[in-house]
Structure 1
Amino acid sequence: MPKSRIRKKADFTPPPVAKQATAIRLANRSWVAPVMLAMFLIGLAWIVVFYVTEGDLPLDSFGNWNIVVGFGFIAAGFGVSTQWK
């Protein structure tokens, strides 16, 4: 039986692009680091002040919820940190 010819496929070359896509300019994110650090420090200060003043400050009406507010600021700092590039 005769052997069949081996067909060679042409290598794929993508069609030429008429114009190179322009780079998308990203927004300036220089605000992220200062806001993130500020949130961390505000949250930490809130919790420290609550413990040092034995619950009288920052807001006496919140009671032990002041801890949640402090951790909320810290969590917001982590949320802002996701925008950092």
Structure 2
Amino acid sequence: MTVPKSRSDRKKKAVYTPPPTAAKPKISPRWLAPAMVTFGLLGILWIGVYYIAGGLIPFMRDLGNWNLAIGFSGLVIAMILSTRWR
């Protein structure tokens, strides 16, 4: 007399093996981190100097509120560069 096989023995699932990946991990360029930090610091310093001594520095006095645009554009560039950092 033979014993019937169970259903789990009949339908064995194949073990999942992920496809091979030959792609190298992405690495940031060497210039990215220093440029990101430099633009961020220059933006903060520009805004800080404008608020502290903007009336005393002739070219900053002539620019007026455009100094804020210059400072914030440095910060925006630093944020854009930070999205490319791996």
* TM-score of the alignment, normalized to the shorter chain, above 0.5: yes
Q: Does the 8 Å contact 2:54/2:61 carry over to 1?
A: no
- 2:13 is matched with 11
The Cα offsets for residues 46-85 of structure 1, whole Å up to 9 and x where unpaired, read as 212322131743472x321211220121121111111122
Cα pair 1:46 1:58 within 8 Å, conserved = no
Q: Does 1:82 align with 2:46?
A: no
The amino acid across from 1:63 in the alignment is: G
Distance 1:57 1:48, change over 3 A: farther
What is the letter of the counterpart of residue 80 of structure 2?
Answer: G
> For residues 5-84 of structure 1, what are the structure 2 equivalents within 5 Å?
6-8=6-8, 9-14=11-16, 20-24=20-24, 26-51=26-51, 52-54=53-55, 56-58=58-60, 60=62, 62-84=63-85
Q: Which amino acid aligns with 1:21?
A: T
Q: Is the 8 A contact 2:43 2:70 kept in 1?
A: yes
Aligned residues: 78
Structure 1 segments unaligned to the other structure (5+ residues): none
CA separation in 2, counterparts of 1:56 and 1:10?
A: 81
CA distance in 2 between partners of 1:25 and 1:7 (Å): 43
TM-score (norm 1): 0.66
Instruction: Name the structure with the higher helix share.
Output: 2
Unaligned 5+ runs, structure 2: none
Return the TM-score normalized by structure 2.
0.65
CA RMSD of aligned residues (A): 2.9
Aligned identity (percent) is 29
- Which stretches of structure 1, 4 residues or more, deviate above 4 A after TM superposition? none
